[in-house]
Structure 1
Amino acid sequence: MKTEGNFLPAEWVRQSGVQLTWPDCETDWCDIIDEVVPVYEQMAREILKREKLLLVCRDRSLLPQFLQAENERLLIHQMPLNDTWARDHGALTVIEKGQPTLLNFRFNGWGMKFAACHDNQITPTLFANGAFRKGVPMLDFSYFTFEGGAIESNNEGVLLTTSECLLSKNRNEHLSKTDVEFFLKKVFDAQKVLWLDHGFLEGDDTDSHIDTLARFCSEKTIAYVKCDDKTDSHYQALQKMEEQLQTLTDQHDKPFQLVPLPFPEAIYDEDGQRLPATYANFLIVNGAVLLPVYGVPQDNEAVRIMQTLFPDREIVPINSVPLIKQHGSIHCISMQFPEGVI
């Protein structure tokens, strides 16, 4: 495991806690608030069993009773917010000479698709209010638009991302691919940046965040979304993504072990729009993997595959149909922090 220099720790390293930003009726969840709050409650309970929960909310009086009680693992911070996608407005953490350092980027609502004026201030406000352990520094990169869902790390100096997202308009359009790659290598001390040029999910607002398509599960293993139905609108793009994954190599120029994840059968909203269901949007926590499930036949196979990928962790299925109604899932609503941060 990489221990020197700066690097972006993988999600499976020991964590100090996870951030959630709580939904309320002033967020886009308002119309389905009774559906989505139980999902957040289950997430909160599972996190608190294992590590600290950094909870951002507009008003703590709106929280359920079990989050009102005293709990040494629970840290609540009130502040204005637009929405609840902590993966993308939360701080990223790098390890610098063995110690954690927070990174603050600009969040602009996935290329100015949605208002983010309050969400963009959540990380600086948490830092100013002492939410993180004393002595943990934060570096400001607010001149660079970036989201946590756009990057994956294998913990050994290899980053995985998508060109559709990082090269999209209204993020860092003044920068070339070479510029963006140089920035990522410098900030994360990465040896390699691997770009996927194919793959998408209908209903996705993020411009193909990597965490909806392909995820590192170990230094040498990538789990990825695979579609076998030739009549499905995703088939060709995901086939091309698979072919590209087969060409990628790690920091030692060795190919990765590739593990296909099942493709959930199509789920639609009340207007007939397809929703972006994916099993790739799981969250790794201490001792467990929180896995989105959708009440479809592929759920059981997804659980089985996850157990083979993480044999020493409990696989916890979480009904994520309410989350995909707002076009995200479990990983999108959470941000983990390695040991020493919270």
Structure 2
Amino acid sequence: MSTQRLPAEWEPQDAVLLTWPHKNTAWNWILEDVTELYEALATVIVDYADVIIALPADMIDEVYGRLEAMGAPMEYIYLYPCDSDDTWARDHGPLTVETENGFTLLDFQFNGWGSKFPHQKDNQLSQQLFALNAFPYATIAAQDWVLEGGSIETDGQGTLLTTSSCLLNKNRNPNLTKDDIETRLKAAFGVRKINWLDHGYLAGDDTDSHIDTLARLCPNNTIVYTACDDEQDEHYAELKKMEEQLKTFTNADGEPYRLLPLPWSGPVLGRDSDERLPSTYANFLVINEAVLVPIYELPMDEDALEVISQAFPGFEILGIPCNALIEQGGSLHCITMQIPEGVLEPL
């Protein structure tokens, strides 16, 4: 039994990591739009947790000035000069586990979701931040296998949820079997049971079906999940199979889940193309007493906020417009990584 544990996202946090967009990222064609989204997001997050921003050294003064002009409390926002390829902090950021001796940042290998995109700088980003003392009360441990934060969900109590299409994909860890990966996940995160989803995908997703776009663990043995109610939609059959599989899952203690379906957005198309974008409501971020939910200027936005409020009683539920983010295939959870309480300040 592992003595280290990956906390659930709804446990107390010190900070949230953002990797800032810049002209050398894939955002260059809508850089101003997405920068404004990041600025607005940072000013919301800082109401609930500190904000760590990784960004090019030559942008620090500009970003500091813009956030300060927006009234952000800059004593809770930390800007660190880092080289990055892109902005998906959920996947290149550290996964922080609680150990007998404090906290350890697990720095997994990041290979651009199976070598689809440039990733060498992003793969070094956690080490860059650690060297700059961004995480003063944690150690860091390099891992020798590929894993992205968006590909796993945990309740912090022994159960992990993931997708076989991502973790068992030969573009990640071709030399590891499913049993190998299970053994490593259990050791790394202190889980006793792993639930593997074999169905579910979203058009426009580059991650080979990350769990954080499809189904999310919530407090009180609850799962919210992406559901499709349009029988004519290309996703209908796969998401129906996913729903049926979720009904069979139990947690590490053998208890079935309370399942809450999220509304289906219908087709959302790219601004410069007729390709579908992965407009999922499942890609929310939990920060201390709040849940930030991606919304897309659609009629079903309000329904999504209501479902998530049922999953997180007592939390403040805030909608964050994320139309710009899904242009590059991700949403709110994909661009953030929470840092547990005790890493920036001692417990």
TM-score of the two chains, using structure 2 as the length reference: 0.94
Q: How far is 1:99 from its partner?
A: 2.5
Q: How far is 1:328 from its partner?
A: 0.2
1:245 match: 246
State the distance in 2 between where 1:7 and 1:49 align: 27
What do residues 145-179 of structure 1 show as CA deviations (whole Å, max 9, x unaligned)?
01000000011010000000001122101111111
1:155 match: 156
1:9 match: 7
1:254 match: 255
Q: Which amino acid counterpart does residue 198 of structure 1 have in structure 2?
A: H
Q: Which amino acid counterpart does residue 226 of structure 1 have in structure 2?
A: A
Q: 8 Å contact 1:167–1:177 — kept in the other structure?
A: yes
1:91 match: 94
2:338 corresponds to which of 320, 336, 339: 336
Q: How far is 1:93 from its partner?
A: 0.7
- 1:182-221 equivalence runs, <5 A: 182-221=183-222
Q: 8 Å contact 1:6–1:189 — kept in the other structure?
A: yes
Name whichever of 218-227 and 192-201 sits farther off: 218-227
Secondary structure of 2:32 counterpart: helix
2:61 match: 61
State the distance in 1 between where 2:136 and 2:9 align: 19
2:35 match: 37
Name whichever of 201-210 and 174-183 sits farther off: 174-183
Q: 8 Å contact 1:265–1:296 — kept in the other structure?
A: no
State the distance in 2 between where 1:286 and 1:42 align: 18
Name whichever of 37-46 and 114-123 sits farther off: 37-46
Secondary structure of 2:212 counterpart: helix
- 1:1-342 equivalence runs, <5 A: 5-58=3-56, 59-63=59-63, 65-67=65-67, 71-97=74-100, 99-134=102-137, 136-141=138-143, 143-269=144-270, 270-342=272-344
Q: Which amino acid counterpart does residue 319 of structure 2 have in structure 1?
A: P
Q: How far is 1:138 from its partner?
A: 1.2
Name whichever of 276-285 and 40-49 sits farther off: 40-49
TM-score of the two chains, using structure 1 as the length reference: 0.96
Tell me how many residue pairs correspond in the alignment.
Answer: 337
Give aligned-pair identity as a percent. 47
Q: 8 Å contact 1:133–1:340 — kept in the other structure?
A: no
What do residues 292-315 of structure 1 show as CA deviations (whole Å, max 9, x unaligned)?
000111101001111222221111
Structure 1 pair 243/181, CA: closer, same or farther in 2 (3 Å)?
A: same
State the distance in 2 between where 1:116 and 1:252 align: 38
Q: 8 Å contact 2:219–2:312 — kept in the other structure?
A: no
Structure 1 unpaired stretches of 5+: none
